[in-house]
Amino acid sequence: MRSLVTATATELARRLDAGEVAAREVIDAHLDRIAAVDDSVGAFLEVTADHARARADEIDSRRAAGDDVPATAGVPIAIKDLFCTTGIPTTAASRILAGWRPPYDATVVRKIADAGLVMVGKANMDEFAMGSSTENSAYQPTRNPWNLDRVPGGSSGGSVAAVAGLMAPLAVGTDTGGSIRQPAALTGTVGLKPTYGRVSRYGIVAFASSLDQAGPIARTVEDTALLHQVISGHDPLDSTSIPEPVGDVMARLRDGVDGMRIGVVNELSGEGYEVGVSARFDESLRRFESLGATIVEASLPHAPYGLPAYYLVAPSEASSNLARYDGTLFGIRVDGETSAEMSANTRAAGFGVEVKRRIMIGTYALSAGYFDAYYQQASRVRTLILRDFERAFADVDVLVSPTSPTVAFPLGDKTADPLAMYLNDVATVPASLAGIPALSLPNGVDEAGLPTGLQIMAPTLREDLALRVAWAFEQDLGFSPIPVGHNTVAVP
């Protein structure tokens, strides 16, 4: 039997439900783990130990009393600091929200609590989810549990590091252009960006509203499916929430890929992708063939325009969303003679450099005279990319590519060159712009022992298909998601 911190959420739920272990034991084991390793990893901005112990004790009492308790009650989870949590600091890793305690829970947080999952902490991230390395956090960097000199990816870097570092078997992140999938790839974890609108955005600090989507992160595909089932579904509090039912994503999880057609996206591999990444990707294609799938070439001709379009659409929407941080309703204030001065001073002091960069690009791209050439033109490219996907999915069941062109890179490697950092998102952005579900799972390690990621993209609403393909691959590969090798966190 695996230790409590190396066990999967599914295993923990089974043992908790069978009464073999108490929620308090599970939570204490993970809080001990956090205390032991998070000084070196930096996954959490806030460890909610008191909250977690109180919740665990309550769950144990209810189980002891014979109450109807969900099987998952007592399983720990890390929550990205972009989700509002009542009375618990929520900063989006920004100085501008320092000390702010939301008066309500995000719908995702409420659903997590309803399933009895216990929040152990708020996870670090790039400020306002803008970044691909978690180095844009205003508070601390997060280190990759597979190599502490390297980044965990971003923006959901704290969430994936908590899961890879065995501080929680589950985490929720958000993905606007790749912020779940790229960090999952860099830390040997599984991360799913569901269809846009599948998971409620209510109570999630907004970055780019037409792209933002919350999703599950775990060490196995089964756990990822389990958490997706918990957090997804229609929410009347989010007007962009999809009314179609989610269905049982576990029902056909084990049905395999025999007879499926899997498309390799020509434009999302080859040049610009590291040797180790490409080698693992090619092996993955052969593995799918050995499992009975047919590999076919597919093309998304406009995918190369995805990244430039994304870096207009996302900053434009961000510049509008972030207008609310003006020193009036929440967060910090830096005084000024007039209201406008107070706002400008507050924002200058409260936002980090990447956030300012994107606000400036966004306000410029939306300004009269430039709107047509930038935001409008980027939105047209979005249509072309949507059409590309529709055409491709007419011929194949799912599309695959490497998740990230690189493995985890050293801290500080790309902070001086914003464009180099943006290129991390080249393979993840097309699915974001089209709103389709896409998942990353580990497909091995490179020559230095760092994890590589395989991206599986599925048609709209078909998270179940992406998960099914991923499960078949994972079972055959037998990858162990526990970090090993030089300069990793110690495994109990």
Partner 1 sequence: MLAQLAVTDDEVAGWTDELNKILAYAEQVGEVAAEDVSPTTHPYPLDNVFRPDEPGPVLDRDVLLAGGPETTDDRFVVPRIVAEE
Q: How far is the CB of 100 from partner 1 (least distance, A)?
A: 6
CA distance 235 to 109: 13
Applying the rule CB under 8 A, the residues between 305 and 344 that interact with partner 1 are 305, 308-309, 311-312, 319, 323, 326-333, 335-344
Q: Which one among 40, 140, 299, 379 touches partner 1, defined by CB under 8 A?
A: 379
Question: Which one among 286, 380, 391, 486 touches partner 1, defined by CB under 8 A?
Answer: 380
98 binds partner 1 per the rule CB under 8 A: no
Q: Which of 78, 112, 381, 445 binds partner 1 (CB under 8 A)?
A: 381
CA dist 138 and 95 (Å) reads 6
Nearest residue (CB) to partner 1, 69 versus 309? 309
Residue closer to partner 1 (CB basis): 260 or 322: 322
Q: Is 122 a catalytic residue?
A: no
Give residues 406-435 in contact with partner 1 (rule: CB under 8 A).
Answer: 418-419, 422, 433-435
Tell me which stretch binds partner 1 (CB under 8 A): 95-103, 147-155, 174-182, 262-270.
95-103
For residue 111, indicate whether it is catalytic.
no
Closest separation between CB of residue 231 and partner 1, Å?
A: 17
Given the residues 137, 156, 179, 404, the one annotated as active site: 179
Does 361 contact partner 1 by CB under 8 A? yes
- β-strand partners of 164: none
For partner 1, the binding residue among 140, 266, 294, 377 (CB under 8 A) is: 377
Count of beta carbons in the 10 Å neighbourhood of residue 36: 16
CB of 337 to partner 1, least distance (A): 7
**Least distance in angstroms from the C-beta of 106 to partner 1:** 14
Site for partner 1 in 163-202 (CB under 8 A): 195-197
Residues 436, 451: Cα–Cα separation, whole Å: 25
Spacing of C-alpha 419 from chain mean position: 21
Residue 345 contacts partner 1 per CB under 8 A: yes
> Quick check: is 179 catalytic?
yes
Contact 449, 479 (CB under 8 A): no
CB of 431 to partner 1, least distance (A): 10
Residues 207-246 that bind partner 1 (CB under 8 A): 210, 236, 239-240, 242
- Cβ proximity to partner 1: between 380 and 391 the closer is 380
356 binds partner 1 (CB under 8 A): yes
Q: Does 449 bind partner 1 (CB under 8 A)?
A: no
Q: Least distance (Å) from partner 1 to the CB of residue 50?
A: 20
Q: How far is the CB of 434 from partner 1 (least distance, A)?
A: 6
Question: Is there binding between residue 300 and partner 1 (CB under 8 A)?
Answer: no
> Would you say how long the chain is, in residues?
492
- Window of 124-132, 183-191, 260-268, 365-373 that interacts with partner 1 by CB under 8 A: 365-373
The single residue of 94, 133, 155, 200 carrying the catalytic annotation is 155
Please work out the total of residues on this chain that contact partner 1, with binding judged by CB under 8 A.
Answer: 72
Report if residue 393 touches partner 1, rule: CB under 8 A. Answer: no
Q: Which residues are identified as catalytic? A: 80, 155, 179
